[in-house]
Amino acid sequence: MRVGICTLGCKVNTYESEYVINLLKKANYEISEFNEICDIYIINTCTVTNHSDSKSRKMIRHARKLNKNACIIAMGCFIEANKDKIMTDMEEIDIAIGNKDKSKIIDLIEKFFKNKTKIDDTYAYLDDNFEDMYIDSYNSRTRAFVKVQDGCENFCSYCIIPKVRGKCRSKKIDVAIQEIKNLVDNGYKEIVLTGIHTGNYGVDIGTNFANLLRETLKIKNLLRLRISSIEITELTDEVLEIIHNNDVIVNHLHIPIQSGSNKVLKLMNRKYTIEYFIKKIEKIRAIKQDISITTDIIAGHPGETEEEFATVIENIKKIEFSKLHVFPYSIRKDTKSAQLEQIDEKRKKEHTKKLIELSVQLEEKYMKKFIGKTLPVLIETDKEGYSFGHTTNYLEVKIKGNLKQSIIYNVKIIEIDYPYCIGQIC
């Protein structure tokens, strides 16, 4: 049977979808493009914003329109958030899976086709066990994600994720290392450590993120190690020392700031002040020259007055991120921020637009620093006579010609054509 998969949301979802693809292939299912006519459609959903909810619903309904007789499987965070009513609200769904039992998807598919009855595989609560998933191959041949952690207990006031992902849970360190080793042995040049709260790895199993980094860096032939996202408070002296002393760890960190205003940070229940954040960034730059530091920022959170927004802009400029991932604040039911006085949509859109414009300025400024420099580029794809890849500091480079994928070339940056650096093989 043919299966089409649509993945929405974060890198953890990307990993979990790849895991499901691996299971399906081993069970002799044929993986097809999502928009083709398939016997089974799987939508791995997201619920981080209202827009995510809307897109999840849209893709579930789109799958039913593609083939009215197909089995529609919806899983993940949107399902978890709406598990009490999802099967009645969305009649298109044949199998509903929350954030548990994705590893049982083959059994659930076989049960559905045997009994021809809908299956609600959601639970009243998420247990405290890490659902082990293991991947040895990806559709991409260059970069592989490894999920080492799940759940979050930060309880930021705007965020629904602790509700839909549960408590912090970690993959056993020996299991994680074996998975990474197998991926490297299978030819993957770059490994990305990912989780819902990655830097909190190990809190439940008597270890920590620094130990995971140390063990990972012992793996022979690992060329690049990337951290998908990490909180500023988890960049401890121990972690920074490892980053400083190992060139295998790429020259890029994604560190969510969420706001540049202390007032708003407090309302968000973030665990730092802007002064703490800036001081830690200065420390990082002192040990890692020309590092790219990207971030997430929310525009229009309650409490973000024009005066506070001016402070946000001022501090973002002071920090000089190399890119901002901008998210308009989205009310999430049963969160503390939802109970606060909201700012109007017009002002929220204005703040979002200004932050996106600032991001472009910061990106171009950072990119221009590398004109005339030679950087190693991992080639990932080619299109219309050009090859594309990323440097360790996550610049996307466009090079004329069809180069071999999964090979690292030394490339001279000759000009900027936003959003690309234009490169030339040395």
pLDDT of residue 374: 98
pLDDT of residue 191: 97
133 conformational bin, left if phi > 0, alpha if psi -120 to 50, beta if neither: beta
- Angle of helix 306-319 relative to helix 274-287, nearest 10 degrees, comes to 10
Give residue-wise pLDDT tens across range 24-58: 999 999 999 999 999 999 999 999 999 999 999 99
How confident is the model over 90-109, as a mean pLDDT? 97
pLDDT of residue 112: 98
Give residue-wise pLDDT tens across range 371-390: 999 999 999 999 999 999 99
Q: What is the pTM of this model?
A: 0.96
Give residue-wise pLDDT tens across range 223-255: 999 999 999 999 999 999 999 999 999 999 999
The percentage of residues in the chain with a pLDDT greater than 90, rounded to a whole number, is: 96
pLDDT of residue 362: 98
The average confidence (pLDDT) of the chain is 97
How confident is the model over 87-100, as a mean pLDDT? 97
- Asked if 426 contacts 410 with a C-beta cutoff of 8 angstroms, the reply is yes
CA–CA dist 157, 160 (Å, integer): 8
Q: Is the pLDDT of residue 266 over 80?
A: yes
pLDDT of residue 14: 96
Q: Is the pLDDT of residue 138 over 90?
A: no
How confident is the model over 320-329, as a mean pLDDT? 98
Model confidence at 267, in pLDDT bands (50, 70, 90)?
Answer: very high
pLDDT of residue 316: 98
Model confidence at 128, in pLDDT bands (50, 70, 90)?
Answer: confident
Determine which helix (DSSP H) or strand (DSSP E) holds 12, and give its type and residue range. helix 11-26
Determine which helix (DSSP H) or strand (DSSP E) holds 145, and give its type and residue range. strand 143-150
pLDDT of residue 348: 97
Torsion angle of alpha carbons 239, 241, 246, 249, nearest 10°?
30
φ/ψ (deg, to 5) at 194:
-135, 155
